Amino acid sequence: MKPALLLRKVKLKTYRVLILTAILLYLIPSVSRAETRTAFQQGVEYVKLRLYPQAVDTFKSILSRDPTDVNALFQLANVYKLQDELALAIQTFNALLTQQTDFQNSTVTDSEKALTGDRIQGLTHLALSEIYCKQSQLDIAEQHAKEAVERYPTDANTHYRLGYIYTHQAKFDAALASFKHTLARNPDFAEVYEWLGLIALMQQKPQQAVEHYQKAIARKPYVQSAYYNLAKAYRLLDDTAAATEQLKLFQQMKVYYDRTYAIEGALAEDPLNTTLRLELAEVHLAHKHISAAITTYKSLIRLHPELVTGYDKMGRLYMDLNMSQRAIPFFLKILELNPDAVEAHVRLGWLYTTLKAFDKAESHLQAAIEKMPGLTLAYHGLAEIYTEQGHLQKAIDVYRHITEIAPDDHEAWQAGQNLERLKKSPQTTR
């Protein structure tokens, strides 16, 4: 099969580099440094939440006060790129390349200035290369990628972009060299292993392809194309069973990808939609993509800081992951927003019990009982605390109370009887 034809048949998601780190903050005039830094951080937060119009307004406002702020100019160009306003992005990135930065009032050393200048120029060339790749202008993209590598050679993304371009140009030796440089800087660069697998397929080396795709999947198990191409490699090796299994996984990942893509598309139009964001998190959880679910819940909290649901979802998720320390702050926040949230008290009682913080656990369970006197779950928690502490009679009394308010609670009956026997045992000194 011709390389160009195979490339067209492979459905790949564009690898997009989103640089959110503040660069060159020392360029901000001292008189407005704090104000500008705050505005810049807010703009970056808007980008993280995909609130692109707000991000554009924020960075433009900064530039209106200081047109030489390369931080804001770079981020503005990056937002245009993320919005697919590519003409504006190219124009803004080119303005950044031609802009002369004045360091006369800077306190940094000459070496620091040179390093920072090369870095920002390298990232700008990298972004332009990505844009021209998207527009299928590979010759222009290649020149920018080469500039990015020259100016910022320590960054894995610059080498990756050059390898990506060489692969599309069927310059496989050059691509392999660039990918080798990429992995030297980031051994877990999953997309590189995908491209290495594709090159191996095109060079009729299916066993190598299998090894590369397995590495890609181990690092990013939610990319559908890797499973499809791994199945293709297994077919070339006449391993029908393995190929069939990978095609099943491909279908699962395709369903997952299609659903998340649809929801994210809707969120792009309505980023404040709580229902959509909760649905997206649930889809991630259904496919055990925990990190994506956590990121989605965190976005929900940032967008709606007064919404109890976001904190509750995060707390429950960390509980499911047996990460009590991380879960606790979210339930405490719920109580801050709603002091009458009984369930939050109960969950905190359980969490503090697992951490052996019995005083805090008892306090929250007592608070839950005060608000809901018939809540047997809270009494069970109290009894467990007393048992853990060796206060057997107190635990027995709690179980007796449970049976009084809930006569059908067989667990309480059994637990109380067991403690009665334990208390009478000669070996029991408590």
395 is in which domain, residue-wise?
A: 373-430
Highest mean pLDDT among 29-38, 67-76, 294-303: 294-303
Tell me which of 90-99, 114-123, 141-150, 373-382 is least confident.
Answer: 114-123
- Are 36 and 160 found together in one domain? yes
Residue 114 pLDDT exceeds 60: no
Please check whether residue 367 lies inside any domain of the structure: no
Query: CA distances (Å), 206 to each of 2, 212, 221, in order?
Result: 16, 10, 20
Q: What distance, in Å, lies between the first and last C-alpha atoms of the chain?
A: 79
Task: State whether residue 21 is helix, strand or coil.
Answer: coil
Same domain, 215 and 304: no
Encoding tokens for residue 232? 């293709």
Q: Looking at residue 102, what is its pLDDT?
A: 42
Region 277-298: mean pLDDT is 96
Same domain, 381 and 407: yes
Are 27 and 81 members of one domain?
Answer: yes
pLDDT tens for 196-208 read: 999 999 999 999 9
Residues 367, 349: Cα–Cα separation, whole Å:
10
* Same domain, yes or no: 306 and 253: no
Same domain assignment for residues 41 and 139:
yes
Higher pLDDT, 311 or 409: 311
Residue among 236, 258, 231 nearest 247 (CA): 231
- What is the model's pLDDT at position 426? 64
> How many independent structural domains does the chain possess?
4
Report pLDDT digits (tens) over 387-399.
Answer: 999 999 999 999 9
> Can you give the pLDDT at residue 322?
96
CA distances from 271 to 16, 19, 45, 266, 285 (A): 20, 21, 13, 8, 20
Q: Find where tokens 């819940």 sit.
A: 297
The one-letter amino acid code at 331 reads F
Q: Evaluate the CA torsion angle 228, 234, 240, 242 in order and state its sign.
A: negative
Same domain, 30 and 158: yes
Q: How far apart, in whole angstroms, are the C-alpha atoms of residue 346 and residue 13?
A: 44
pLDDT digits (tens, 9 = 90+) for 44-80: 999 999 999 999 999 999 999 999 889 899 999 999 9
Q: What stretches of 171-223 show up as alpha helix (H) in DSSP? A: 172-185, 190-202, 206-219
Domain-embedded: residue 195: no
Residue 89 lies in a domain: yes
**Which of 170, 137, 227 lies closest to 2 in space, CA to CA?**
170
Structural domain ending residue among the three candidates 244, 267, 290? 267
Q: Please check whether residue 379 lies inside any domain of the structure.
A: yes
Q: Do 128 and 181 sit in the same domain of this protein? A: yes
Let me know whether 303 and 335 are in one domain.
yes
In CATH, what number is assigned to the domain containing residue 346?
1.25.40.10
Same domain membership, residue 127 and residue 64: yes
78 and 153 assigned to the same domain? yes
Q: Is residue 363 situated within a structural domain? A: no
- Averaged pLDDT, 140-156: 97
Residue 98 placed within a domain = yes
Residue 200 · residue 208 · CB < 8 Å: yes
* Amino acid type, 4: A
